[in-house]
Structure 1
């Protein structure tokens, strides 16, 4: 199993969350098997998201989807996200 981590700032968490939640079916259709959202304790607009995938290739393909970029823009993501991949051991 591969986990994709994405950390980014958002302009308004509540607005971002509505877009994120509306994207759930698309996530599942594109290989996401589990997800979680975390907020920094000192800044609710500092968000880290995890998505689990069966393979690294599936996770990498997900990050390249135009629909994902569009959703992130619509949700008010600010700047360039920090992205990394891990394997559960």
Structure 2
């Protein structure tokens, strides 16, 4: 069975501020179908973050991405640490 991952990369102002906003979970990851997540940072860039959110279906990943675009990333109150537009892609696990 395939697994789908929503991968999000973006520049941030401050990791502590970004992580606090992520932890507030404005999109309710569990209710959105997220089964696991990973947060990574480039070793040479403290102002960049890569987030991977795993789902059982592509539809769930697409729905959460739409929710982020409509309700989170365009709000400096909800996403105070973002700089610029996030780069996103939905990945399908290879067999």
Paired residues for 1:1-89 under 5 Å = 1-23=3-25, 26-65=28-67, 66-69=70-73, 70=75, 73-89=78-94
Alignment RMSD: 2.0
Report the TM-score when normalising by structure 1. 0.88
Q: Which runs of 5+ in 2 are unaligned?
A: none
> Which 4+ residue blocks in structure 1 deviate beyond 6 angstroms?
none
Aligned length: 89
Higher share in helix: 1
More strand per residue: 1
Q: What TM-score do you get using the length of structure 2 for normalisation?
A: 0.83
Would the aligned equivalents of 1:20 and 1:75 in 2 still touch at CA under 8 Å? no
Return 5+ residue gaps in structure 1 as ranges.
none
